[in-house]
Structure 1
Amino acid sequence: MIEKMRFITITGPRTEFDRVVSIYLNKYEIHLENALSELSSVQDLKPFVEANPYKDIHSKALELAERFNNNRPENPIKMTLSEASAIILSASREMEDLTAGKKKLAAEREHLLELQKKIEPFRHLDYEIDKILAFKFIKYRFGRISHEYYTKFSKFVYESLTTLFVECQKDPDYVWGVYFVPEAEADKTDTIYSSLHFENISITSEYEGTPEQAYNALAKKLEENQAKTDSINAEMTNRLSSRSDQILNAHETICVYSNNFEVRKMAACTTVSKRNTFYFILCGWIEETSVEALIRDINKDKNIYCMVEKDIANVSTKPPTKLKNPKIFQPFEMFIKMYGLPAYNEMDPTFFVAITYPIIFGIMFGDVGQGLCLAIIGALIYRYKKIPLAAIISSSGICSTIMGFLYGSVFGFENILPHIWLNPMENVMTVLFTAVAFGSTIIIITMLINIINGIRTKDIEKIFFDNNGVAGLVFYSMVIVCAVLIATGHPMPAGVLLAVFLGIPLILIFLREPLTHLIKRKPEILPKDKGMFFVESFFELFEIVLSYLTNSISFLRVGAFAISHAAMMGVVMLLAGAQSGNPNILAVIIGNIFVAGMEGLVVGIQVLRLEYYEMFSRFYTGTGKGFKPYKSK
């Protein structure tokens, strides 16, 4: 189910804005919309723009709160903004000397890392850097060149120059190195290297010894820097530990005020004052069940007014979607959210998935023993970890257990329980035909859901002329009836009936666009390019008829996996020596674990594929937006 929504507008004096946010938005779940966008036709409105006065104090509070492993106070206490600010400012002043030292260490660390990064590619150069920097008659350049230009340089240029290039390091893109050149040839050689895109890297006198020695020395300095930083952090934590609860409570108070201030981005403000008072406007969606309580509260507030839009069709923004299902179905909302939330006026398919998914899984994976294991393990994981997928596995395991009784299979043993219905390996064709019949029933149900969705959205084309509407339902149902009559040896219906129930629906699907335009009394019934329209409609109709067949046959996989599961367990029993009457228990256990793990995963994915591609594609768009109330933030 989808929770019904109402659109509300809250307005009041600008000076009351923070109080309104603190009281009403933190008490009721309201999904805010941009007031300026929603009230675009209203004149004399502007964005509610102000500089955030809590920005600096919030930054300091956040920095202090991060010193503690637990960011929540053990003893929550309500405090005013001034009290919270005083605590944070006092603690910040107490930390000033340590903060300054830490900033200095951070700047030093950045510098050391930069030096280390520069010298790292030249670590293979076995010559002291300070001696190179002291050369008077030989010029040098540290840098890198791409492989493409380095190859050209080596083959065609290097031998003709009075230069020495010392290669230091390579990576997939560049070659790092140093070139030396006599002072008299420096300008000419520098020009040639520049033309080959040689990138200079500046090496300063801060390095000592060879590049390798300099790199190691920098690494040691970085370790010392980190040790000093850790020491300062520990000292900061020690100083604040006695006031941790105070600071964390102050942090939470300031966060609330800072977050409340951000709501201004969603609000509008009047540009014309009434009695020297400017007003704010907030718009949003609220659950219908909460409207009366909100109105009662606001009616007691003299300065604040709340208006409720009776007809949501008058609202330009789409209502958000909030799913409301019984607890037993809620885990299956995970699959719905993966595909996309239903639009507000669309049917919530959670109930449909919660019924069909476990049943199809059970048919494909019918085994009493393995099903019970899945049911118990899934239930325990969901009980303690609240993972939705675990609940889905548990419900699927229950259906697997039921189908295991119908198949007479327990951990692969076929002779312990009598099969109530049939043995998949002995009744292959029956299983496959039953799977197609089951799939055809599911397809008809999805068509009915699509028609209901069309009625909700008042979409004439979707209701009557769509391939999943009334026309498609009549055609597909008649095809199923004919197939059943042929399979059971009964005579086909009269030609007139076939023409009515097969021909007319196809004509309606073929002409669905013009017919929809005709019913809606649009001036242009057929498009201008009529020839192209009929060609496209013909091929589209051919594809639709073909899809009815392929979608039905797609459900063969349901029966095929039931047979596959029985066959795989038969192989396990054969390898375990079950035919001799004394099977290897260890081999049986390992085989069951392997089959349950591998085939359970594959079957789970295949069932989800059937849900998404064979069922959802017929009736579900999933274009809804989630209900995100300010309170949850």
Structure 2
Amino acid sequence: MIVKMQFVNITGPQEDIDRVMEQYLSRYEIQLEPALSELKTTENLRPFVEKNPYKDALLKTQEFISYLEHPDQITPDPALNKKAIFSRVHEIDLAYRELEEKKKSLLSRREDLTKRLKLLDPFRPLDCDLSQALHFRYIKHRFGRIPIEYYHKIEDYLMDDISAIFLEGKQDDNYVYGVYFAAATDTRKIDTVFRTLHFERIAFPEDVTGSPEYNCRDLEYHIRKLNKQLEALEQRTIEMLTKRGPELLSILNQLQTLSHNFDVRKLAACVEDKRGNSYLLCGWMSEENVQRFLKDSANDEKVFVVVEDDVDKYFGEPPTQLKNPKLFKPFEMFIRMYGMPAHNELDPTIFVGITYAFIFGVMFGDAGQGLCLLIGGGLLYHFKKIPLAGIISIAGIFSTIFGFLFGSVFGFEDILPALWLRPINHMTTLPFIGKLNTIFIVAVAFGMFIILLAMILHIINALKSKDPGNTWFDPNGVAGLIFYGAAVLVIFLFMTGHKLPAAILLTVLFVVPLLLILFKEPLTRKLIHQKATEKEGIGMFLVQGFFELFETLLSYFSNTLSFVRIGAFAVSHAAMMEVVLMLSGAEAGSPNWAIVVLGNLFVCGMEGLVVGIQVLRLEYYEMFSRFYKGTGREFKPY
């Protein structure tokens, strides 16, 4: 069922808005709407511009919580007052920042050493004392790198004309690193030659002593030492915050609530008048919650609540909140997938729950597999609250029932007697058709009943929406119900050998409803006293109407035949289990139980999935399309 909603306006002194949220609105479900856009007839409205005072403390607390392992397993401490919350957060933040500053200093030192190591590492193979080489008086040095493709030219130049020595360091895929030494008097000439070979100079620190290898090892040692110090600081941070874990979780919960309640200002508005500044909140509440709210705030002189009467005129469609028995609660998932019902529509949850589970049971009738679905789905729904698991469990009840009716247990049909029939064997003789599988006939008859029921639901929805055209002249309205009902009656009488109604009566039952459907638009305009917007030739109108009427008749026929799939899957399920038992050697009297178990698991999984999808298709296309629009919006409480 759909919960009846009411639109409420709540106002009071501006400084009292937090108390109202904490004392009243946090106890009820209310979908708040933006007051500035909803209350268009109210003057002097302006938005709140206050900054959320809980935001920074909340972000810090969330940062602290991120250090905790398995915070969901920690029991929070009792709640604190607001002053104590800020004091504790500040206290914890000071200890945390002190450790963070130490970490920051160590990270900065490590970064400097890492950069120095990265600079020296390519020159590790150089076997020389850098403290001497970097301070020669008459010889200049140039550290750098040269592309590999130019490196082989160096020997030619050095051997022939240039007084320089190149010492090779490391090399990678693209470059050779090294240093060349040259006499101070020849430096300019040699630098020019090396530049032509695309030599790139690297600024080298002047304060290094010893060999590059010695320097690199020393840097690596200090980096490892810093890493250990950083790990120790990280562990101290975790231990400090873990020790205060229960307190932090309590603070986090309170700050989230306080911050969320404060953010209600984004949806509220301020009103300025002679008496002072007031806040204004508006939104949707269930009728039951409105009455409780009015009762609770009756003696509160600072809270004023107005329940709007003319909702449709000013505030549009109310949101939809579904309230169904626990047994049918999982089936609300299918309703949300299709679309929430509008406030003036019927809630189809119970209808879907009954028809879905019933049809699934017929198509998947096996007592053993049905019990597995019932138990497995029930346990999964109980512990994980997965709606689909609940649907599977309820469908398993009907699978078990029809398993007994069909006499099938895990595919074995010689253990239990069939309380009704065996789908694969039972036949019925029909006039002009001959023998036909009984389950097919029952499936079509059931489909006719469901289509008639869907038409009745369509009429109820149209009456609730005050839509006379869809009530009386729609293919799913009264005219369609009479025509299709008459067709079902004639088929039933003919198949059972009873006498058909008189020709005049049949003409009235068939022709008049079709004419009403054909002239739906002009008849609707007559009923609501509306003039035609466009003039259209009678010939074009009749041609278009004829094809639409033909499509309607075709849809009646195709939708009815679509229910044959119920019988087809009932038969195919029995046939698949026969194949499984045949492969296991059950006919010889000593089945291979491993094959029986695996075969049942395969059929249960694969066919269960296919049947579930096919039943949902019947719900959406053969039933919902006749009476349900799903144009509502879901109720989302603040």
Work out whether the TM-score is over 0.5: yes
**AA aligned opposite 2:21:** V
* Structure 1 unmatched ranges of 5 or more: 115-129, 139-165, 169-181, 187-201, 207-218
Looking at structure 1, the residues matched to 594 and 563 of structure 2 have their Cα atoms a distance apart, in angstroms, of 35
**AA aligned opposite 2:259:** S
Q: After superposition, give the CA deviation of every residue in 1:573-623 in whole Å (9 maximum; x if it has no partner).
A: 222222223333333222222222221121111111111111111111222
Aligned to 1:510: 518
Looking at structure 2, the residues matched to 316 and 229 of structure 1 have their Cα atoms a distance apart, in angstroms, of 59
**Structure 1 residue corresponding to 2:611, chosen from 575, 594, 603:** 603
Task: Give 1:274-353 correspondences, 5 Å limit.
Answer: 274-275=274-275, 277-353=276-352
**AA aligned opposite 2:269:** A
Aligned to 1:61: 61
Looking at structure 1, the residues matched to 527 and 378 of structure 2 have their Cα atoms a distance apart, in angstroms, of 53
Looking at structure 2, the residues matched to 106 and 19 of structure 1 have their Cα atoms a distance apart, in angstroms, of 46
> What is the DSSP-based 3-state SS (H/G/I as helix, E as strand, rest coil) of the residue aligned with 1:453?
helix
Q: Is the 8 A contact 1:321 1:626 kept in 2?
A: yes
Structure 1 residues 54, 220: closer, same or farther in 2, change over 3 A?
A: farther
Looking at structure 2, the residues matched to 404 and 556 of structure 1 have their Cα atoms a distance apart, in angstroms, of 19
Q: Within the alignment, does 1:82 sit opposite 2:83 as a pair? A: yes
Rg: which structure is higher?
A: 2
**AA aligned opposite 1:284:** G
Give the deviation of 1:204 after TM superposition: 8.9
Structure 1 residues 56, 391: closer, same or farther in 2, change over 3 A?
A: closer
Q: Within the alignment, does 1:454 sit opposite 2:468 as a pair? A: no
Give the deviation of 1:223 after TM superposition: 10
Aligned to 1:421: 420
Structure 1 residues 255, 384: closer, same or farther in 2, change over 3 A?
A: closer
Give the deviation of 1:383 after TM superposition: 3.1
Looking at structure 1, the residues matched to 39 and 12 of structure 2 have their Cα atoms a distance apart, in angstroms, of 16
Give the deviation of 1:308 after TM superposition: 1.1
Aligned residues: 553
Give the deviation of 1:224 after TM superposition: 9.8
Q: Within the alignment, does 1:46 sit opposite 2:46 as a pair? A: yes
Task: Give 1:592-631 correspondences, 5 Å limit.
Answer: 592-630=600-638
Give the deviation of 1:131 after TM superposition: 7.4
Looking at structure 1, the residues matched to 496 and 248 of structure 2 have their Cα atoms a distance apart, in angstroms, of 80
Q: Is the 8 A contact 1:360 1:607 kept in 2?
A: yes
Looking at structure 2, the residues matched to 469 and 205 of structure 1 have their Cα atoms a distance apart, in angstroms, of 88
Q: Within the alignment, does 1:357 sit opposite 2:356 as a pair? A: yes
* Structure 2 unmatched ranges of 5 or more: 116-141, 151-171, 175-193, 205-219, 427-435
Looking at structure 2, the residues matched to 321 and 524 of structure 1 have their Cα atoms a distance apart, in angstroms, of 34
> What is the DSSP-based 3-state SS (H/G/I as helix, E as strand, rest coil) of the residue aligned with 2:32?
strand
Give the deviation of 1:538 after TM superposition: 3.2
> What is the DSSP-based 3-state SS (H/G/I as helix, E as strand, rest coil) of the residue aligned with 1:283?
strand
**AA aligned opposite 1:511:** F
Q: Is the 8 A contact 2:479 2:516 kept in 1?
A: yes
**AA aligned opposite 2:235:** A
Structure 2-normalised TM-score? 0.78
**AA aligned opposite 1:31:** Q
Aligned to 2:2: 2
Aligned to 1:268: 269
Structure 1-normalised TM-score? 0.79
Structure 1 residues 112, 355: closer, same or farther in 2, change over 3 A?
A: farther
Looking at structure 2, the residues matched to 602 and 203 of structure 1 have their Cα atoms a distance apart, in angstroms, of 70
Q: After superposition, give the CA deviation of every residue in 1:20-39 in whole Å (9 maximum; x if it has no partner).
A: 11111211211111112221
Structure 1 residues 78, 437: closer, same or farther in 2, change over 3 A?
A: same
Tell me the C-alpha RMSD between the 2 structures. 3.8
> What is the DSSP-based 3-state SS (H/G/I as helix, E as strand, rest coil) of the residue aligned with 1:604?
helix
Q: Is the 8 A contact 1:133 1:205 kept in 2?
A: no
Q: After superposition, give the CA deviation of every residue in 1:34-62 in whole Å (9 maximum; x if it has no partner).
A: 11222112222122232223332222222
Looking at structure 1, the residues matched to 561 and 225 of structure 2 have their Cα atoms a distance apart, in angstroms, of 70
Structure 1 residues 11, 500: closer, same or farther in 2, change over 3 A?
A: same
Aligned to 2:181: none
Looking at structure 2, the residues matched to 234 and 459 of structure 1 have their Cα atoms a distance apart, in angstroms, of 70
Q: Is the 8 A contact 1:12 1:281 kept in 2?
A: yes
Task: Give 1:521-536 correspondences, 5 Å limit.
Answer: 521-524=529-532, 533-536=541-544
Looking at structure 1, the residues matched to 17 and 622 of structure 2 have their Cα atoms a distance apart, in angstroms, of 50
Looking at structure 2, the residues matched to 203 and 55 of structure 1 have their Cα atoms a distance apart, in angstroms, of 51
Aligned to 2:559: 551
> What is the DSSP-based 3-state SS (H/G/I as helix, E as strand, rest coil) of the residue aligned with 2:437?
helix
Q: Which moved more, 1:409-418 or 1:356-365?
A: 409-418
Q: Is the 8 A contact 1:80 1:253 kept in 2?
A: no
Task: Give 1:568-583 correspondences, 5 Å limit.
Answer: 568-583=576-591
Q: Is the 8 A contact 2:143 2:201 kept in 1?
A: no
